[in-house]
Amino acid sequence: MKKISLSKSVRSMTIRYVSAAIGGFLSSLAMPRENISPFIFLSVALLLFSIHDLKFLRALGVGLVGGFAFYLSQIEWLSLYLGPIPWLALSTLEAIIFSFGMAATALVWKWLQKTLLVGNAFKPLAISTALALMWTAREWVSITLPYGGFPWSRLAQTQSETYLAKWVYLGGLGSLTFVVALLAALATVSILAWKENRGFPHWSVLLVLALALGIPATIYPGANAEVGSVTVGAVQGNANAGLFANEEPGTILENHLQATKLLEKDPLFKKLDVVVWPENASDLSPFSNPMANARITSLVNKEIKVPLIFGTITARGEDYFNSSILWQPDLGPTDWYDKKRPVPFAEYVPNRDFWYQIAPDLIGLVSRGYTFGERDGIFEIKESKLGSLICFEIAIDDIGRSLVSDGAQIILSQTNNADFGRSDETYQQAAFARLRAIETGRVVVNVSTVGVSAIYSPDGSIIDQIATFEPGVMLEKLPLRTSITPAMVLGPVFDLIANLLAAILIALAAYRSAWPPARRPRIYSSRS
C-alpha cells in the first residue's frame, strides 16, 4: 500500500511540474509578437492547477519551475544584449519571486477552501477573486523590487490588442492583470469543483463573464482634440545604435539627419510643429562635439525650421545622463529631460563593488553608469505640452502617471531597441505604448531607432507606423488632450488595495496554518 501511495504521489507531483512548465511557456506565446492572447488564460490556469491543494514548500518548488518557464521563454531577447548570463540571472531572480508568490497563493487557497462558508455557487467566485488578488500583488512585487523592479512580463501586455484592453482606462494595467487572472482562476476553480462532484458554479461564471466583457463595452475612450492639435514628425533612422555597435562615430546622427529629409515629401510638412527623434539618435553630444552641434543647428534653423526633440548622452560634471533635448530654431537647446529610471545592470550597476566580485567581466561591460534624472519631462511647444518617456520608462506606471499630472497633452516614447535585433522585445515594448495611450487618454508617439515605431490613439488604435529596420517617418496632426481618465485616479488606489488585501490574506492563512483552531469537543445528548 505504501508503494502504491508513493507511486501515486510521484506521478501527481510530476504532473504538477509538467503543468507548471507548460503553463509558464504558454505565456510567451500570448505575448507580442506571437500575440496568441487566449493562451494567457490557459497559462495562468495551468500554473494555478499545478499548486492546487499543495503545502507551502511543495508549492514553492512547483512555482519555481513555473517561474523559470514563464520568464526564460518571455525574455530570451535579453541574451542578445549582454549574453546569456544576464538573461539567466534575471530569470532566476524573477522565478524566485514568482515561486514565493505561487507558494503564498497555495497557502491562501488551501485555507479559504477549508474556512469559507459561502454557498456552493459563490464559493468558487470568492476563492477565484482571492487568487486573482494574489497574482496581481505578486506581479506588483516583480515590477517594483529590487532596484526598481523589472516592469515587464505583465498579464496586461497580452491583451494590448484585445477587447479587454479597455480595462486599463478604468484602473490601469494592474486592473487588467486582475481581470485576466480572475477569469483564468475562475475557470480553474470551477473545473476543480466540478471534478470533485461539487457541481459547476454556473452563476459565478456568468457573473464574472458579464462584468469582464460587459464593462469594456460601456467604455468609449475619447480620441478627439480637447485643446487643439500639434503636427508631429517622428523619424526612425534605422541606425545600428546597439551598445556594441562598431559604427564610425557620427553615423547614427547622420542616419537620422538623412531620414528626416523624408518629411519634406509629405503634404503636411509645411504645417509641421515639431520633429521627434528616438533615444540615442545622436551618438555625438552636440554639447561637446562641434560637428554635431553644427549639423543639428543647421537642420533646425534652415531645413525643418521647427523644434527638434532628440535623444543623446549628456554630461554635467562627473555625472552622465540619458537625455532628451529640446532644440529650438535660432535659440538652440532650451530644455531637456533626463531619464528618471536608468535600467539596472544595463545603464548603471547598483552595489557595483558587490556584484563585481561575483561577475567582474560582465559588470566591467557597464563601464559608465547613468545618473537618475530629476526633471519633469514636459516640453512646451507653442501652446502644447509634450511629455517625454525614455525607453523602458513606458512600462513604469508611476512615471507615465506623473507626466499626466504635470500637464502632458501628448506623450513621446523615445526608445532605442537596436540591441535586441528582430526579437520580441520591441513588440512587447510597443504593447506598453498602446496600453499607456488608453490608460492616460493621450496620443503616444512611440519612436525607435529601428522600430517598432508607431503612433497610438487614446482609444488604442494605430494612427501611423513605420516598417521595422527601415528608415522612415510618421507625420500626423495629433489631438491634444487634457481630460483625466479614471485610471489616473483609481490606478494607484487599485494597486494599493490589491496589495493590502493580498497581504491580509497571506497573514490570516499563515496564522491559521501555524496555529489551527482547536478542535471542538463533540457534545452528545443523553436521555435518561
Q: What is the DSSP string of 290-309?
A: HHHHHHHHHIIIIII-S-EE
Distances (CA, A) of 327 to 233, 308, 400: 15, 5, 23
pLDDT at 523 over 50: no
Answer whether 227's CB lies under 8 Å from 481's CB. Answer: yes
| E strand or H helix that includes residue 222 | none
Instruction: Specify the higher pLDDT residue, 86 or 427.
Output: 427
Dihedral angle, C-alpha 149, 150, 154, 157, nearest 10 °:
130
Q: pLDDT of 350-376, one tens digit each?
A: 777 777 677 776 676 666 689 999 999
Residue 201: what pLDDT? 66
Alpha helices in 359-396 (DSSP H): 360-365
DSSP letters spanning 82-147 = H-HHHHHHHHHHHHHHHHHHHHHHHHHHHHHHHH--S-TTTHHHHHHHHHHHHHHHHHHHHHHTTT
Average pLDDT over residues 429-441: 98
Average pLDDT over residues 417-436: 94
Cα 454 to Cα 143: distance, rounded to the nearest angstrom: 25
Q: pLDDT of 284-295, one tens digit each?
A: 999 999 999 999
pLDDT at 2 over 60: no
Average pLDDT over residues 479-506: 97
One-letter amino acid for residue 345 of the chain: F
Residue 525: what pLDDT? 44
Reference 381, options 332, 458, 328, 338; nearest CA is 328
Q: pLDDT of 77-117, one tens digit each?
A: 988 877 788 899 899 999 999 999 999 999 999 999 988 87
Instruction: Specify the higher pLDDT residue, 11 or 175.
Output: 175
Note the pTM of the prediction, 2 decimals: 0.93
Half-sphere exposure of 122 (CA within 13 A, CB side): 5
Average pLDDT over residues 53-71: 97
Instruction: Specify the higher pLDDT residue, 348 or 148.
Output: 148
Q: pLDDT of 505-518, one tens digit each?
A: 999 999 988 887 65
Listed range (78-82, 135-139, 249-253, 392-396) with the worst mean pLDDT: 78-82
Q: Grid coordinates representing 125?
A: 467566485
Share of the chain above pLDDT 90, in %: 73
Chain mean pLDDT for the chain = 91
pLDDT at 261 over 60: yes
DSSP letters spanning 229-279 = EEEEEEEE------TT--PPTTHHHHHHHHHHGGGGGSGGGGG--EEE--T
